[in-house]
Structure formats: structure tokens, C-alpha cells
Amino acid sequence: MLTASSALTTPPKTPGTHLPTYIFDTSDDVARHAAQIVAGVIRERNSRGQQAVLGLPTGSTPVGVYRELARMHREEKLDFSQVITFNLDEYFGLSSDALQSYHRWMKEHFFKHVNVPQDSIHIPNGAVSLEAIESHCREYEQEIERAGGIDILLLGIGGNGHIGFNEPFSPKGGRTRLCVLDPVTRRAASSDFFSEANVPQQAITMGLGTILEARKILLLALGEHKADIIREATEGAVSPRVPASYLQEHGEATVLIDAAAAQDLTAIVTPWVLGQVEFTDSLIKRACIWLSEKTGKALLKLTDEDFLNHNLHQLLRHHGPAQKIAHRVFRWLMDTIEYHPAGKEKKRIICFSPHPDDDVISMGGTLIRLVEDGHEAHIAYMTSGNIAVFDHDAARIADQVTEYNRMFGIDQERSKLVESTVLESLARKTPGQPDIDNVLKIKGLIRWGEAKAGAFKVGCKEEHLHFLDLPFYRTGTIAKKPISGDDVRIIRELIERVNPHQVYVAGDLSDPHGTHRVCAQAIFRALLEIEASRGSRPEALLYRGAWQEYALHEIEIAVPLSPGDIALKRKAIFMHQSQKDAALFPGSDPREFWQRAEERNTATAARYNQVGLPEYFAMEAFTRWNGVPI
């Protein structure tokens, strides 16, 4: 894998891909590498007195690239005065100042931080009338042509393989046009609009023909949720079902991904089929578990023939026979099973919960075990979670508190004033509009009360609950601020005050809101600062949230759970009533959070059993943080 220090080198492409594909350790490394390539184009054009023409995307993926380019402008004097930009797309029917408008997004994330001339910025106009849309799109194409074509185009990729808003089966030679959005795309955008029903049905997009005419293309992808489509786009056949696969026919298209997005590539999953590999302990474990699952046999039932029939000749030749290899892996997996994840001697632990319910959803059973083992279990709720509460719940609480105060004769006039302000604000609010401060406070109070109730259910004490309310989250919208020194300081002060032996961190980097990733980055920064000053740090274990689970070969600690543990964990999750039945931001999975958690925990136990290990009712899985920032 590439690292930041090698970001300007040209390493060999990942084997097995039809597109030059490069895997970086972290999303920051991807951003730095992409930004340096873009900066190189700009500097080369500036040196010739020419304009650099950039094609630009929006979304969470390119944010790091824009931040790095802004840093280069600020600290390295990268000059954007001769740059012309063309954005890929815009929602149809949105004014340029709408909260979800890409005009507004680009200004906030990029243009206000660099010196691109205003008249050199081109973004499709989502507010143009339907009658004028055809001429507007034609003019957009003419503007690109007048600029001399796009020198370098950045792309993200949708879960269905779209680039821009070119959905599956879009015309390969298509130009800028009005298109109908795929249900998959609208579902992915639902959190930005506070409901899938509010997502526009149509958008204006640069066509595939226009995209493929760019002189150089960088496709970026981050996170496990992009792994499957990255494999299809880079290793599969060129197909109209996966529009990004057309990039295979472009001579200057490159794919830059982080390790999470690379996890389904052949070079990662089964690298032995591509040629000679070094069978480290980690790869032996992966290969043997893969073979067990592929053959449907328990580990200790694998034979030499199984290895030979599945391209594992080299593993068998150098580390065999089969019984020896399988027994090693069996022992490794047995050693991951741990009833007492913090040991039996009393310790202090902190579970960092990005949202107010991640603690019980992700590791509620382990919290039960930690409390039963006599450990001092702290929970740090990192954000208020106040944007993920329905308006009707806020209105109900405002009304309930007013009636409570009337019943007990407590400052009734003030209560009525607050209630009327809240109800009036909610009545006027348009879809996706940020809440006023009073509403955010009420929604935060709802999540606060639910978090306490859930923590009490698993046995935690009130004095061990910490509501950090990190500054990066306090925007009232889906888009958050970058992590700051204040966020890291708050976390570090808590760790130094509690002085835990263990900390548990959300390692679910596919969280669709990005909050888990950001929280993990802040915690890791705090831990590294502590290690630098003290020479040591607490052990950090990573858990997964409601979206993903660790693969069997990745798990380092698996905590067995009984039916009683799962029943109590379910009750703790049920304390989060604002997220019950129908959550405001459920993601693409239609199941409730408790269902996802239980099915994931029982599936983990089943996978252990399927490869021949003891059968447990359920398991919660963890890995250890290796000290490398994400």
C-alpha cells in the first residue's frame, strides 16, 4: 500500500484490475495524493501562462482533496487565478442558495478558500426552467469546449456505479443533460435532505461522453461501503450497468482508494490466484478461513486436495500439510474468544460512542460483561445526535414540558413562550432546513435522556457517563466542521482524567454520516498526543456499528454472548425510542437498529461455528488499533 511519504511516486497498479488502481492506507493519503496531482496540473499550466481546466465533484469523498488544495493555496501559494472549473452535476429544482445545492456546497468547501475567479466557476443551474433546460445544457457543453476541454477531472462513484449522475444504462456518448435519479442514488442522498421523499427526482449531469473526453481522470473512493462497486468497476467487464466501468477504455484514468474501499479486490481477498505471494501469518489465516468457507468444511477437516483444488499450492508446499496449516489457524481463532475482554482484575475503561446509541447497539453485550466483571465502565457520548430526531418528537416534548410546568406551577409563561416558538418554527420549516437553537436543544435533550436510560440498562453508573458535545458536530446540519484542536483537547482531557486501561472506539468507517470516522480520527489524535507526552497510552479496541461487521480473519477479540445478554442488550437499545421503529437517518438497511445488531452478533457466532469452532449464541467482535491514524 502507498503511504503519504510516497504519494508522488508511481507504484505498480494493483494486480487483477483493468484500471490502474492504487491502494492507500488512509483517506488522508488518498486526498494528499489526488491534491498533489491536481496541483501539478495547475502549476504546469501556470508556468506556461495557460489556464488549467478542472472537472470537480461534490460529496464526502473529495472533501479531503479540497482541504489539501486550500492548504496548498494558503501555505504554498498555489495560484488558482488561471483556473477554470466545471462541476459534474446539480440537483434540478434547487436554487443556488438551497442547503443541499452544489453551488452552496462548492463555495463552502472549496471556492471561498482559494482564488478561482468567480467568472471562471461553472456549475449547472438547478433553478433553470424546464423549458430552458435543453439550451442551458447545450451552453454548458459549449463553455467546456471554449475552455479547451477538461485537463483533469475528479470523480466519485455511487453505490450503483454512477459517475456524475450518470446512472446505470446511461448513454455512453451522452452530453450534459437532465436525468432521472436512480432509487439507489436518492436513498444514498436521503440524509442530506432529511428524508428520501425530499430528494429531487432529477438532476443535471455532465454526460459520460463529456467525462470520457477529459484528458486525465482520477476516480476516488473511500470506505467499506464502496468496496463492492470498486471491484465491479475495476475488475469486472465494461458494462452499461456499471457506468464507471467505461473508464477502463480511457487511457489516462486512475483509481485512488483507501484500504477499506479495496477490501473486495482480488489482490486483497485472494492474492494467491494472481501469482506468487508471501504467506505471512495474516495471509495464512485469511487463506485458510477463505478455503474453509469456500469448501463448506470445518478447518480441521480440510485436506491437501482442498488446498490444491483452490490454487493454494504455494501455501501447502511451504507451510503444509493441510492438517498443520488448519490447526494453526484453528488455534489462532480459538485464542480470539474472550469472555473477559478487560481481564478479571478491576480496570477502568471508556467506551467512546459517536452518537448517543452507538454504545449499546455496537457493544452493549460487552458493556454488560465489563460491568459484571467489576470494571469501572465509563461511556463518553461524543455528539448530541440532535439532528437525528423527528420534528414531531420535539413538538411532543415541548408540549409535555409545558403541561408538566402547568401541573406543578413552574414558570408557566416562559414554558408557553418556548413551546409557541418551537411549534411555530417547526410549522414554517421546509424540508432539510436547519432547526432553530431551541429545537436543537430539545432534540438533544431527548437523545441525552435516552442515552442515560440505555446505559443504566446495561449497568453503567450515572457518574460514569460523559456528554462531550464535541464542537465539530454543532452545525445543526448533516455537514460537519473539520476536527479541530478543541475536539481533540476535550477527548484528551477526559482520557487523562479517567486514566483508563482500555478505550473502545467506533471503527465503523462506513458510517454514512461520516461521524464515526471523524470521531475515531479525533480519539486517535488524542491517544497519540498522550503517548508522546507519557510514553504510553491505553489499549484501544475498535468495534463496528450498525452498518458493517469485521471479517472473520480480522477479528482479534470475540466476546461470547448468551441469550440473556442479547435480551438485555435489546432492552437497552429500546431505550432509544426516538430511533425505534423508524429512525430519521436509517441508512440503506431497512431493518431497525436492534435487528441489525442481533443478526450481526448471531451471524458472527455462526461463522465461528461454521469453520469448526465452539457454537455460541452470539458474539461481539473487536480489533486492536495499531497506532496508525486513519
- Torsion-angle region of 93 (φ positive above 0: left; ψ -120 to 50: alpha; else: beta): left
**Separation of alpha carbons 418 and 20, rounded Å:** 58
The per-residue DSSP string of 286-302 comes to HHHHHHHHHHT--GGG-
Cα(217)–Cα(287) distance, integer angstroms: 34
- Scored b (16 or more CB within 10 A) or e, 238-276 reads ebeebbbbbbbebeebbbbbbbbbbbbbbbbbbbbeeee
Q: CA-CA distance, 451 to 466, in Å (whole number)?
A: 10
Give me the phi and psi of 344, to 5 degrees please: -100, -20
Residue pair 210/171 in contact (Cβ under 8 Å)? The answer is no
User: Cβ neighbours of residue 296 under 8 Å, at least 6 residues apart?
Assistant: none
Q: Is 496 exposed, middle or buried (0-12, 13-18, 19+ CB in 10 A)?
A: middle
C-alpha span between 264 and 458 (Å, rounded): 36
Asked if 517 and 509 count as a contact pair (C-beta separation under 8 A), the reply is: yes
Q: Which residues of 523-557 are buried (b: 16+ CB within 10 A; e: fewer)?
A: bbbbbbbbeeeeeebbebbbbbbbbbbbebbbbeb
- Grid cell at residue 229: 462497486
Distance CA 120, CA 221 (A): 27
CB neighbour list of residue 627: distance below 8 Å, 6 or more residues apart:
528, 531
CB burial class (10 A; 0-12, 13-18, 19+) of residue 519?
A: buried
Cis peptide before 321 (omega within 30 of 0): yes
The helix (H) or strand (E) run that includes residue 600 is helix 593-610
C-alpha distances (whole Å) from 571 to each of 130, 247, 452, 574, 580 are: 51, 49, 13, 5, 11
Residues 365 and 565: beta-carbon distance below 8 Å: yes
What is the sign, positive or negative, of the torsion defined by CA atoms of 312, 315, 321, 325?
A: negative
Out of 68, 167, 224, 232, pick the active-site residue: 167
**CB-based contact 400:591 (threshold 8 Å):** no
Helix axes 358-372, 437-457, angle to 10 degrees: 30
Cα-Cα end-to-end distance for the chain: 14
Query: How many other β-carbons are positioned within 10 Å of the β-carbon of residue 202?
Result: 16
Cβ(547)–Cβ(225) below 8 Å: yes
Distances (CA, A) of 528 to 172, 236, 483, 517, 520: 48, 40, 15, 17, 12
372 is catalytic: no
Sign of the four-CA dihedral 509, 34, 53, 215: negative
Computed over its alpha carbons, how large is the radius of gyration of the chain?
Answer: 26
Cα–Cα distances (Å) from 623 to 500, 542, 551, 555, in that order, read 18, 5, 10, 5
- Catalogue the active-site residues: 167
